[in-house]
Amino acid sequence: MSSDTRTSGITGARKTEQAGTESGGTEPQAVTATTYNILIVDDSATTRAMIKRTLRLTGLPVSEIYEAGSGAEGLDMLRSHAVGLVLADLNMPVMSGAEMTRRIRHDEQTKDVPVVVVSAEPDDGRLRQLQCEGVSAYVRKPFTPEAIRDAVQNAMEGAR
């Protein structure tokens, strides 16, 4: 069985094609799957671990999961890894998730990477402003696995 992996037009999305033969047949059949590299940015290691575990349990097509403890670390990770989606808290030391999102949107290499905010932010006006600035979705803490799954799935579909 041969395998061909190449990066698609979505940053951090990998399309893997495997050619093989179907049981009893002689014709090769192509199987195509797209997986995503995800960056979790939150100053709480516990929250990052919960989100990471949730992503693994939901069955979403996730390949690599990277972690950062601040917006500044998140930007560094984006520059050094192919990331297809960012899950970010808003209130963090060094650089907030809002500032990180603004910088992502103003960088030619990262401007199309979907950003999903996962935060306990109580100000609905601030959340609406963030959506105007390019946040793909918002998940309120404490979150359910379904809320994370749905927000990530919708953001991935919107990026295609």
Set out the domains of the chain in order of their start, with CATH numbers: 35-159 (3.40.50.2300)
Residue of higher predicted confidence among 22 and 13:
13
| Phi, psi (rounded to 5 degrees) for 136 | -75, -35
Rounded CA-CA distance 23/147 in Å is: 39
Q: Considering only 79-88, 100-109, 121-130, 149-158, which range has the smallest mean pLDDT?
A: 121-130
**Does position 119 have pLDDT exceeding 90, yes or no?**
yes
User: Is residue 33 very low, low, confident or very high in pLDDT (cuts 50, 70, 90)?
Assistant: low
- Measured over the CA atoms of residue 41, residue 47, residue 52 and residue 58, the dihedral's sign is negative
